[in-house]
Amino acid sequence: MSCNGCRALRRGCSQSCILRPCLDWIDSPQAQINATLFVSKFFGRSDLMSFIAAVPEKNRPCNFPIPLSKRNK
């Protein structure tokens, strides 16, 4: 099943999707789509994907847990 980030960008999604972990902390599916569209308009779709892919997987910001107090603000 396609993640909301890939749906927003109208691209195929796989089990190894690099967007999915970056959006997991956002509760609402619509908010995930809005965040993806905002960032992709700022960086561009291909640059966004390249930017995330260029960082080693263990060092990607989306792999660091966000405290619950920050998630709900």
What would the pLDDT profile of 1-21 be if each residue is shown by its tens digit? 788 989 998 888 888 888 888
Q: Which of 25, 4, 18, 26 is nearest to 60 (CA)?
A: 18
pTM: 0.71
Q: How many domains does the chain have?
A: 1
| Residues 6+ positions from 22 with CB-CB distance below 8 Å | 5, 52, 60, 61, 62
Q: Residue 68: is its pLDDT beyond 50? A: no
**By residue range, what is the domain housing residue 32?**
4-71
* Interval 40-62: pLDDT, tens: 898 888 888 888 888 888 777 66
